[in-house]
Amino acid sequence: MEVVPPRQQETPVKHQPPDALDLQLLHALQVDGRAPFSRIAEVLGVSDQTVARRFRKLRTTAGLRVLGITDETRLGRQSWIVRLRCTPDVAEQLATALARRSDTSYVDLISGGTEVMCAMKPRSRQERDELLFDRLQRTPRVISVSAHCLLNIFYGGPLGWLNKTNALDPAQEEALRPPTVEPTSAPVTLDKVDDALLDVLRRDGRATAAELQGATGQSESVVKRRLEHLRSTGVLYFDVQHDSEPLGHGIGAMLWLTVAPSALAQVGQVLAGHPEVRFAAATTGQANLVAAVLARDTGSLYTYLSERVGALDGVRSVETHLTLRQVKQLTYEPGR
């Protein structure tokens, strides 16, 4: 391990924003998070060493992480967004506590520090009820709890925001695309080996074969076969996590839209095509469509809301909340 002299540690380092090759690498990893550097290098027309060096750089400058994510719908489970209004003095503490839970994937501080929003993926009805009806309701200084079940995802999951950068041309994207997901009529059942694989990949989607073998106690061929099965059934996909600001997006916001039921599908599909939208889903509750968006600054967000969202037929109202701080992004890292 290289030791950095103290003088260098004290000197702030100014990082250049990602260039075209960086964006191509990010897009390539979104297409296939486990693609070998050699295959990415061949598609991008650069050396393996260049891809490896750019990958390491982006981990430092843009917080790059590739994570394995489970699609809860393929397992017959529900996903929820929970909003908690609380007093400002406990908001951060509450967000941190939620981030430590294994059944939460995103935890954000919003609304001037008086509201916590989290995405929750309970494994059973009992786990859901224990959190929503017991623990959260009894938490001191929590003013209100509202839970919204996701009914239909218009954009998100395997389709990450990086797919909208068009950094790769169609031929490059096709060359990297993993095998097509096989449709399944019944929920997929996982066993202990599958759970062990997914547990490692949630922390590092590019974990080596040796690391996966060590976690499962299985041979290389068994691990490879299980991994291919999880991917082909759509249970497992890979997402590229990164800081948005280095890519020119300093503002993140959650939009809660109240849409006429007859226009819900159309509005959701239109939002899915907007370059600003990184997630959009129909949900239960008075606001029946939720979207996570990125913008360069508040002026850009205003323009998007007034000229793009406001012009959609069927949208009756929009509630906008800036994301003040993201406490958890799929995996919890204490102190981050």
CATH of the domain at 257: 3.30.70.920
Question: Could you give phi then psi for residue 13, rounded to 5 degrees?
Answer: -105, 125
**What range defines the domain where residue 314 resides?**
246-328
Place of tokens 């959609």: 312
Residues 6 or more apart whose Cβ sits within 8 Å of residue 159? none
6 lies in some domain: no
- As a whole number of angstroms, the distance between CA 52 and CA 34 comes to 13
Q: SS3 breakdown of the chain: % helix, strand, coil, rounded to 5?
A: 40, 25, 35
Q: Can you state the angle between helices 48-61 and 20-31, rounded to 10 degrees? A: 90
Helix (H, G, I), strand (E, B) or coil at 161: helix
Q: pLDDT tens digits, the chain, 336 residues: what are they?
A: 222 333 444 344 445 778 999 999 999 999 999 999 999 999 999 999 999 999 999 999 988 999 999 998 899 999 999 999 998 888 888 888 888 888 888 899 987 778 999 999 888 888 888 877 777 778 888 888 899 999 999 999 888 889 999 999 999 999 999 877 776 778 999 999 999 999 999 999 999 999 999 999 999 999 999 999 999 999 999 999 888 887 778 899 999 999 999 999 999 999 999 999 999 999 999 999 999 999 999 999 999 999 999 999 999 999 999 998 888 876 544 443
Nearest to 244 by CA among 149, 326, 137: 326
Give me the half-sphere count of Cα atoms (radius 13 Å) on the Cβ side of residue 302.
3
Given 120, 153, 186, which residue is the final one in a domain? 153
The answer to whether residue 32 is domain-embedded is: no
Residue 214 inside a domain? The answer is: no
In-domain check, residue 62: no
Residue at which a domain ends, from 137, 153, 169: 153
- Three-state secondary structure call for residue 7: helix
Q: How many CB atoms lie within 10 A of CB 297?
A: 11
Instruction: Residue 91: count other Cβ atoms within 10 Å of its Cβ.
Output: 25
Does the residue 213 lie in any domain? no
